[in-house]
Structure 1
């Protein structure tokens, strides 16, 4: 598999954000549901006055109801189309797209750039309120209400036990042929001035439902139903635990995607496509 752009084409990077409330996720679907990819791919030919369609590749395929502040995608356009319409694309998309999705930057991508495979990390935030009165109505589509007081220190203790490279099968929905080995680079909670608890979750990549399952486990610790050590035991078991609840999607936002220096993109693409395995444990000689 190659990341070379076809002759006569230009790879274009799009930085975008969206409120996921009204979308059935990022990816186009055959059942007619409204998706972020569908909206942007429908708008592109219109604003460029073209008959053909152009397919987007995205850094992270968010689920229904999940938001994004720092999503990244790329699209390959004919060079003459890019030359004619590139300078006007941002403003035209702003006029055509619905108000719950915005493209903030459109630029020619460096050689070997791939929005998905070039990414070295994705950073999400999950927001929760344990206010006994509920969630501020103005934040209701972005903050989960948890009807138990939450212990911030216990949640951070539980979070620390999950950092590093592990098989996160206990926190992922399995997909045929896909690995559940990930490197969790950052996982921490803080309580904002408005009382909302905010989790920062950063990893090289995420498997399906991973962030929402991790949050569900830490909430179970935070409200006293489990001790902090429990999350490490669940992780080590490497099988789905019925006690780990996948929390609702509306508290989750993709905040940022990180990429290496331009000269490292090709190597990163190759590395990201390799199926990962954990090192085998050392066995002492008998």
Structure 2
């Protein structure tokens, strides 16, 4: 797959956010389910007056049903004449056409070699949970998980440190045919705010399906005393799903930011991200 934009087209970067509560995830699906990609592509088709032509989006990270995003990034290739005609008013027109639970904040011509998915060097998520015995603030109920056991944040951070680095995260991922589960977990840390909400920051080069929510599920078991701090690391080393690792509910999870290298490194990063990936001493497997 090449990142060369077809002659006569312009690659446009979109920065966007959405409340995932009423979406069946990012990606378009059969059966007419409501998705973020579908809503934005429909809006683009309308405001550019493209008739039956759909300009398809490529996204940095496909979020699951119910997961939110504050710093999502996508790109779309538009005919140069369409971009020239509409780009000055496109942002405002999209704001008028899109539903209120999805917003595009910026539109700009992308630098050469940019691919929203493959050029990214990290994605940063936040998962928010409270152990307040009274439950969750009603105004935050769509973005914070309630855990009905007291949580020891120090124990959770101790457990998290044992998961950092490059590993095969098969024990924390829903396996997909032909996709690798090798990832580099760059940050996993938890902080309790003055409001009592615990925010877990999770940053990696990429994530496999259900990885963040499974990691949080394991850490919650440590935090409430059901498992010792070394248990999540043992699950990781075993390399197989453990029935005790629960995939926590999606509404506490938000994609906060996507990181990219300097413009001159975008194409090289995109090529590297497509290469087969393996751990030292193991056979390679296709990158997802």
**1:101-159, Cα deviation, whole Å (9 max, x unpaired):** 00000000000100000000000000001000000000000000000000010000000
For residue 275 of structure 1, report the CA deviation from its aligned partner: 2.1
Alignment partner, residue 230 of structure 2: 229
SS at match of 2:256: strand
Aligned equivalents of 1:121, 1:280: Cα separation in 2: 25
Alignment partner, residue 29 of structure 2: 29
Alignment partner, residue 98 of structure 1: 99
Alignment partner, residue 55 of structure 2: 54
Number of residue equivalences: 281
Aligned equivalents of 2:103, 2:35: Cα separation in 1: 13
Aligned equivalents of 1:125, 1:237: Cα separation in 2: 26
Alignment partner, residue 41 of structure 1: 41
Alignment partner, residue 9 of structure 1: 9
SS at match of 1:64: coil
Alignment partner, residue 249 of structure 1: 250
Alignment partner, residue 286 of structure 2: none
Aligned equivalents of 2:165, 2:31: Cα separation in 1: 38
TM-score of the aligned structures, taking structure 2 as reference length: 0.97
Correspondence 1:87 to 2:83? no
Aligned equivalents of 1:12, 1:204: Cα separation in 2: 23
Alignment partner, residue 19 of structure 1: 19
For residue 185 of structure 1, report the CA deviation from its aligned partner: 0.2
Aligned equivalents of 1:219, 1:192: Cα separation in 2: 17
Q: Any gaps of 5 or more consecutive residues in structure 2?
A: 283-288
Query: Residues 148-159 of structure 1 correspond to what in structure 2 (within 5 A)?
Result: 148-159=149-160
**1:1-53, Cα deviation, whole Å (9 max, x unpaired):** 21000000000000000000010000000011100000000000111111111
TM-score of the aligned structures, taking structure 1 as reference length: 0.97
Q: Alignment RMSD, CA only?
A: 0.7
Aligned equivalents of 2:269, 2:202: Cα separation in 1: 21
SS at match of 1:225: coil
Alignment partner, residue 109 of structure 1: 110
Alignment partner, residue 73 of structure 2: 72
The more displaced of 4-13 and 45-54 is 45-54
For residue 280 of structure 1, report the CA deviation from its aligned partner: 1.3
Alignment partner, residue 284 of structure 1: none
Aligned equivalents of 1:265, 1:151: Cα separation in 2: 41
Alignment partner, residue 173 of structure 1: 174
Aligned equivalents of 2:90, 2:110: Cα separation in 1: 15
Q: Any gaps of 5 or more consecutive residues in structure 1?
A: 282-286
Aligned equivalents of 1:135, 1:77: Cα separation in 2: 44
Aligned equivalents of 1:198, 1:160: Cα separation in 2: 16
SS at match of 1:17: strand
SS at match of 2:26: coil
Alignment partner, residue 267 of structure 1: 268
Correspondence 1:200 to 2:201? yes
- Runs (4 or more) in structure 1 with deviation over 6 Å come to none
Alignment partner, residue 119 of structure 2: 118
SS at match of 2:242: coil
